[in-house]
Amino acid sequence: MALLWPSLALVVLVLLLFLAERRYPAAVARMEENFIASLLAIITLVSFVQVIARYGFNSGWGGALEFTRIVFAWMILFGMSYGVKNGVHLGVDAFVKLLPSRLFRLAALFGAFATFAYAFLLLYAGWLAWVGVDISSNWRQSGAIGYWTFMFDRGTGLDDLRYPVWMQDTFGLQERVQRWVAYLMLPIGLALLAFRSAQGFMQIWRGERELLIAGHEAEDLVAENRDALKE
């Protein structure tokens, strides 16, 4: 039961996203885009400034490397769900496209289900014990939620990343930034991935969407320039 509150928080988060999206689909889409683009901009600028500071002025920020790496991980983990929503993720569609249409739909549904299963298993695999799989019953080892909660309770700090002194003083914080802050995106990203793939499953079910995947990496690029040279 140690995982009740974190799990509930994730459910609430997903619900809020769902409701916000029903009301303002365009704004949510733009927010998602701006979020990943800002993360990319932050990584780039911090790395660049760090290079200039190191080689130009022999100084720099000790936590820069760890910070950029964490932001990079955030970008990927948050981006997984964005990719499912926008059909960015690659897959092999050549074979399923040869199938008769009923089997094709079945395969498409399976693709969405597999993505959901991937996210859900990584979030919490403890339920496998109920169906008789020999898996550790310790909640700390049950997946992303368990691990995050464990880290939250322990409060271990990161290697190099520290809170600024004024924040330590004003809020009475410990010196090092806790690991759980960095790992926050792990359960959130996976929860969003589960949500988006479940959404994709429903869209395929209702016939609003063909597949979860993109056939090749340049689909957008080609669509933009389709028949640019047709004669």
Partner 1 sequence: MISAILFLLVLTFLFLGVPVAVSLGLSSLIIIIFFSSDSVSSVALQLFKASQNYTLLAIPFFVLASAFMSTGGVARRIIRFAIASVGHFKGGLAMASVLACMMFAALSGSSPATVVAIGTIAIAGMRQVGYTRDFSAGIIANAGTLGILIPPSIVMVVYAAATDVSVGRMFLAGVVPGIVAGLMLMIAIYVMARVKNLPAEEWKGFGEIVAGGKEAGWGLFLIIIILGGIYGGVFTPTEAAAVAAVYAFAVALFVYRDMGPMKGQPWIAEDASPSARIGFSGTVYAVAFFFVFMILSFFATADMDGVTLQGRTLVGLVLSLGVMFAYIIWRGRPHGDVSILGALRDSLPVWGRNLGLTARNFFPAFFAEDTRKVMVEASRTTIMLMFIIVNALLFAHVLTSERIPQTITDAMIGAGFTWFTFLIAVNLLLLLGGQFMEPSGLLLIVAPVVFPIAMELGVDPVHLGIIMVVNMEIGMITPPIGLNLFVTSGITGMSLLQVVKAALPFVAVLFAFLILVTYVPMLSTWLPYSLMGPEIVTR
How distant, in Å, are the alpha carbons of 32, 33, 91 from that of 211? 21, 22, 10
Query: In angstroms, what is the minimal distance from the CB of 171 to partner 1?
Result: 26
Q: Which of residues 13-32 bind partner 1 (CB under 8 A)?
A: none
The answer to the question of residue 209 lying near partner 1 (CB under 8 A) is no
Q: Contact at 8 Å (CB) between 187 and 109?
A: no
Rule CB under 8 A: is residue 226 a binding residue for partner 1? yes
Candidates 1-9, 15-23, 45-53, 164-172; binding stretch for partner 1 (CB under 8 A):
45-53
Please say whether the beta carbons of 3 and 139 come within 8 A. yes
- Cβ–Cβ under 8 Å, residues 195 and 101: no
Query: Does 114 participate in binding partner 1 (rule CB under 8 A)?
Result: yes
Specify the DSSP element, H or E, that contains 30: helix 25-57
Cα–Cα dist 76/103, whole Å: 32
Q: Is 55 in the site for partner 1 (CB under 8 A)?
A: yes
Least Å from the CB of residue 170 to partner 1: 30
Check binding of 5 to partner 1 (CB under 8 A). no
Q: Does the footprint of partner 1 cover residue 73 (CB under 8 A)?
A: yes
Q: Which of 24, 31, 44, 153 binds partner 1 (CB under 8 A)?
A: 44
Site string for partner 1, 175-204 (x = CB under 8 A): --------x--x---x--------------
Q: Which run of H or of E encompasses 160?
A: strand 157-162
83 binds partner 1 (CB under 8 A): yes
Residue nearer to partner 1 on the CB measure, 94 or 165: 94
Near partner 1 by CB under 8 A, which window of 9-17, 20-28, 83-91, 166-174?
A: 83-91
| Residues 87, 214 contacting (CB under 8 angstroms) | yes
Query: Judged by CB under 8 A, which stretch of 10-18, 42-50, 159-167, 169-177 contacts partner 1?
Result: 42-50
- Which residues, other chains included, contact 25 with Cβ-Cβ below 8 Å and sequence gap of 6+? none
Quick one: which H or E segment has residue 178?
strand 176-178
Whether 156 and 178 have beta carbons less than 8 Å apart is answered as: yes
